[in-house]
Amino acid sequence: MEITSEDRRSGRFGRARRAVAVVTAAVLAFAGLMAAAPASAADPWIAQQEGGYLRIAVPNAAVEAAVGPVSQVVVEGNFGPSHNWAQIGLQRSGANWTATYGPFEPGLYYYQVTGDDSKVLKDTSNPTSVASEPEWSTFFIPGDSAALLADAPEQAGVIQTLSYDSAVAGEERQALVWVPPTYTPKGKKLPVLYLQHGGGQSYRDWVEVGRAEQILDNLWLAGQLEDMLVVMGNGNVDDFSAELLENIVPAVERTYNVSPSKNHRALAGLSMGGGQAFEVFSEHPGEFDAIGTFGAGRFGDLDAIPVDRMNDRTELFRVYVGNKTDIAYNDVYDSFEKFDARGLDYQFDGVNPDAGHNWNAWQENLIDFAPRLFTGAASDPAMSEGHTALTERFEPPAAGTTPTPWLTEDDFVTFETTTDFADAEYVSVWANWAPGGSWLRVEMNKVGDRWRATVGPLEEKFYHYRLIVDRQSVKDTSNPTKVTSEPAWSTFLVPGEGSRLLADVPQGQGGNLEVMTYQSTVAGQQRNAYVWTPPGYDPDRAEPYPLFVLNHGGGQSWTDWVEVGRARQILDNLSLDGAIEPMVVVMPNGNVSNYPRELLENVVPVTEERYNVSSDPLDRALAGLSAGGARTVSVLKAHPGEFAWIGTFAAGFGGTAGVDAAAINAGTELYRIYTGDITDFTYGSVMSSLPVLDQLGIEYEFDGVTVGPHGWDVWQKNLIDLAPRLFQDPNG
**pLDDT tens digits, residue range 654-672?**
999 999 999 999 999 999 9
Average pLDDT for 129-151: 97
Q: How far apart are CA 27 and CA 31, in angstroms?
A: 10
Whether 19 shows a pLDDT value over 70: the answer reads no
Average pLDDT for 492-507: 97
pLDDT of amino acid 732: 60
Q: How far apart are CA 380 and CA 372, in angstroms?
A: 8
Q: How far apart are CA 595 and CA 593, in angstroms?
A: 6
Average pLDDT for 459-486: 95
pLDDT of amino acid 3: 33
Whether 302 shows a pLDDT value over 80: the answer reads yes
Tell me what the pLDDT averaged over the chain comes to.
93
pLDDT of amino acid 466: 97
Whether 357 shows a pLDDT value over 50: the answer reads yes
Helices (H) and strands (E) in the chain, counts: 20, 34
Whether 320 shows a pLDDT value over 70: the answer reads yes
Q: How far apart are CA 233 and CA 194, in angstroms?
A: 7
Long-range contacts of 658-663 (CB under 8 A, 24+ apart): 659/696, 659/698, 661/696, 661/697, 661/698, 662/697
Crossing angle of helices 712-722 and 567-576, in 10° steps, is 30
- CB contact at 8 A, 665 and 730: no
Pick the more confident residue, 20 or 159.
159
Instruction: Give the rounded percent of residues in the chain with a pLDDT score beyond 70.
Output: 94
Whether 329 shows a pLDDT value over 70: the answer reads yes
Q: Name beta bridge partners: 190.
A: 258
pLDDT of amino acid 471: 84
Whether 37 shows a pLDDT value over 90: the answer reads no
User: Which of 159-163, 304-308, 728-732 bottoms out in mean pLDDT, i.e. has the lowest?
Assistant: 728-732
Q: Name beta bridge partners: 530.
A: 515, 587
Q: How confident is the model at residue 402 (pLDDT cuts 50, 70, 90)?
A: confident
pLDDT of amino acid 31: 31
Q: How confident is the model at residue 731 (pLDDT cuts 50, 70, 90)?
A: low
User: Which of 323-327, 397-401, 460-464, 523-527 bottoms out in mean pLDDT, i.e. has the lowest?
Assistant: 397-401
pLDDT of amino acid 155: 82
Provide the 3-class DSSP secondary structure of residue 561: helix
Average pLDDT for 194-209: 97
Whether 13 shows a pLDDT value over 90: the answer reads no
Whether 29 shows a pLDDT value over 50: the answer reads no
Average pLDDT for 1-17: 32
Model-level pTM?
0.90
pLDDT of amino acid 23: 30
Q: Is the dihedral of CA 124, 130, 135, 141 positive or negative?
A: negative
Q: How confident is the model at residue 53 (pLDDT cuts 50, 70, 90)?
A: very high
CA distances in angstroms from 174 to 133, 203, 215, 241, 258, listed in the order given:
18, 8, 21, 17, 18
